[in-house]
Amino acid sequence: MKVDVLTLFPAMFAGPMDESILRRARESGRLELALHDLRDWTYDRHRTVDGAPYGGGPGMVLKPEPIFEAIDELANDTTQVVMLTPQGEPFRQATASTLSAHEHLLLLCGSYEGFDERIRTRVHHEISIGDYVLTNGALPAMVVIDAVTRLLPGVLGDDASSVEESFSENTLDYPQYTRPAEYRGLEVPEVLQNGNHAAIEQWRREQAEQRTRERRPDLLKE
């Protein structure tokens, strides 16, 4: 998969994109990541990317010209343009799965008071990572890249790891344990130690539903 990121702060991506699974995905060629400074599509000596809002009001708004021209240059017929904005649909595991099926993503990172409304005519998806406001769209873009990349075939080593986990089936993950079987009086449930895989599967399903009911009942309603 190829991911292009259009941002005013490309340096923010140094570090998170160079570690762990993302680093291995890039080294293996499963993820091709390119960071682009939005100011590269400006023409005035101040490299202006924002302007005062029509009708007045606080803050500044990202201008359409640089973003339109960047999309013209970076996107093609297979590209899915994704706007990171608090006004977008909530980012969920199903959203990550949908995006992972595409060959090319172009992520637009917001800043200031947001985007000129006309930019939305060039966008396929609007995504929010939560009901709060950040200083800019770089961190949401990193979240999307991480969640999508780990779903690409071969990235996790064992592809089943991305299936049997929280939110894959609108439930939280079941409790997990490892050795030792007893630690400070806390024991691993007997069902996990008896080798009966059918019983283990049933226990895990029941535990996932119970945990979801207690902590995120809204997922079960969906």
pLDDT in tens, 32-55: 999 999 999 999 999 999 999 999
Could you say which of 1.10.1270.20, 1.10.10.10, 2.60.40.10, 3.40.50.150 is the CATH number of the domain covering 164-221?
Answer: 1.10.1270.20
| Chain centroid, CA 44 distance in Å | 33
What percentage of the chain exceeds 70 in pLDDT?
95
Is 162's pLDDT higher than 60? no
- Helix (H, G, I), strand (E, B), or coil: what is residue 39? helix
**Sign of the alpha-carbon torsion through 164, 165, 167, 172:** positive
Pairing of strands 104-109, 79-90: parallel
Could you say which of 3.40.1280.10, 3.30.565.10, 3.90.1150.10, 3.40.228.10 is the CATH number of the domain covering 2-149?
Answer: 3.40.1280.10
Compute the mean pLDDT over every residue in the chain, rounded to the nearest whole number: 94
Q: Where are the domains of the chain?
A: 2-149, 164-221
Which helix (H) or strand (E) covers residue 105, if one does?
strand 104-109
| 44 CB-contact burial (10 Å; exposed 0-12 / middle 13-18 / buried 19+) | exposed
pLDDT in tens, 51-106: 999 999 999 999 999 999 999 999 999 999 999 999 999 999 999 999 999 999 99
